[in-house]
Structure 1
Amino acid sequence: MASFFNAVLPKMSGASEYASFFGDERRHRVLHSLFGAYHHDDIEQDKLIFDTNRTWTAKLSLLNALFPQAKVICCVREVPWVIDSVEQLVRRNPTHVSGMFQSKSARNVYGRVKDLMDSERGLVGLPWGSLREAWFGAYADKLIVMRYESLVRNPSSVIGRLYDFLGEPSFKHDFENVEYAEDEFDRRLGMPGLHTVKRKVEERNRPTLLPPDIFMKYADMNFWESEKLNTKKVAVL
């Protein structure tokens, strides 16, 4: 839905030739109806809707206007290890050329990391900047930040707290049997295994594949770990 909104909004505002036909109320109705049409069946059944996109955190004012009760669950991990995980997949699939990297300079780990951390379109840099915007913004109370490290060490406790923050009844999960894959999507992207989730939720320790200078460069980007920077009292699990 975030992609739909990004496509529709420019046609209703700004320099568009149609902008004069849209006031705020009409724009809100169009966006609200777009969301309602896509999620129609779940809304009819009064289900809780999860709409996933890493850029929602850059649109909290829009979400607040359209859906005041909405919350945004932000799954985070220490940034160097996110980069390391992507690099691990690249090296695991040496005969593939991933569409994840657009730059011609992405021919070695330094070029790939530069692409990943690009603030405009990078797989890591764009959502990191969007989350930081939301973290320090006026609607930070909508955020629930879930740390990967906490989840893999104590999944039952973390998920239980998530239900509490959402105000939803708890559900018993089997963390010994969790599996997920999007093989066709990953194959088309040239990154097999990108969305594959292993059966058991557990902590797995291994050495990093990154050169030390890259790892250290991004080691201080985990701003959600700092109590001093959490001035808006964002829920961090």
Structure 2
Amino acid sequence: MERRFHFISGLPRSGSTLLAAILSQNPRLHAGMSGPLGGAFHTLLGELSGRNEYSVFISDAQRQRMLRGLFDTYYGAEYSAEMVFDTNRSWCSKLPQLRELFPQGKVIACVRHVSWIINSIEQLVRKNAFQPSSLFNYQPGGTVYSRSEGLANGEGLVGFAYNALKEAFYGEDTANLMLLRYETLVSNPARAIAAVYNFIGEKPYAHDFDDISYQAEEFDLRAGTPGLHTVRKKVEAHERTSVLPPDVFRRFENDMFWLDPALNPRGVLVV
């Protein structure tokens, strides 16, 4: 069976796990939370570069076969689905490589108001007050200001993903890129999923948005952040109150470049 690959990427706390949980209701599809392939891909790409003293023996065709082989090997006989969505925030920074390896592969980038992303992470930290989180290298110190700064800088959980998203959005490989807003996914899941199916060229499936199932408790507990990948049974929007100081919340309120058509010169699909 020739398995087809697509990718879920974008910003953290923006619905990627929820999207994967919904898609996995379809027996033809497999999707899950962020996995190891993004890191393995990055590492192998580096090891096949000029820093390897034997790189003179490695052609681009060989590099492509080895990188493609990561996916074929990882998603082996244990996975019966005809189509796989691999999730990783780094995929937005790898669009040129993905285009060459998977010409028909689509990238669904989940996005959300950045202030609410920071707020969501801060709520998790406070909820698990006695368990330092892997999101901050298990360090128990800091304040909401240092945590938000650490998240937003270029190497931070949010900052890296945000910069990778902008690289993809303004790059030359946008034909296979779609942005899916968290607000759309939770308020109108039928519309959001219909757009995903249309974008990947797949026939519709009757999803049950009132009975979503996804389990990642063991991973979240080990990460010191219970609830990190919790998905509610029913997809619906919830009224929220920010726990961020007003100045922290305002710092990120104008970062949603995807909402302004004037800032979308390549006409990337935003749902």
Output the TM-score relative to the length of structure 2.
0.82
List gaps (5 residues or longer) in structure 1. none
Query: 1:205 — aligned with what?
Result: 239
Show the 5 A alignment for 1:25-40.
25-40=61-76
Query: 2:40 — aligned with what?
Result: 4
Contact 1:42/1:48 (8 A) holds in 2: no
Question: What do the CA deviations read for 1:16-73 (whole angstroms, capped 9, x no partner)?
Answer: 2232221211111111122211123388x67111111011010000001111111101
Rounded to whole Å, the distance in 2 between the matches of 1:218 and 1:47 is 40
Alpha-carbon shift at residue 179 of structure 1 (Å): 2.9
* Match status 1:84 vs 2:95: no
Q: Would you say how many aligned residue pairs link Structure 1 and Structure 2?
A: 235
Structure with the bigger percentage of strand: 2
Contact 1:58/1:131 (8 A) holds in 2: yes
Question: What do the CA deviations read for 1:116-147 (whole angstroms, capped 9, x no partner)?
Answer: 11212x22111111010000000011111110
Could you say which structure has the greater relative contact order, defined with CA pairs below 8 angstroms and 6 or more residues apart? Answer: 2
Equivalent residue letter for 1:115 = G
Rounded to whole Å, the distance in 1 between the matches of 2:249 and 2:54 is 48
**Local SS of the residue matching 2:110:** strand
Identity %: 43
Rounded to whole Å, the distance in 1 between the matches of 2:251 and 2:67 is 40
CA distance 1:177–1:11, change in 2 (3 Å): same
Rounded to whole Å, the distance in 2 between the matches of 1:97 and 1:68 is 41
Equivalent residue letter for 1:13 = S
Rounded to whole Å, the distance in 2 between the matches of 1:220 and 1:17 is 46
Query: 2:255 — aligned with what?
Result: 221
CA distance 1:189–1:46, change in 2 (3 Å): closer
Query: 2:23 — aligned with what?
Result: none
Rounded to whole Å, the distance in 1 between the matches of 2:95 and 2:162 is 15
CA distance 1:4–1:79, change in 2 (3 Å): same
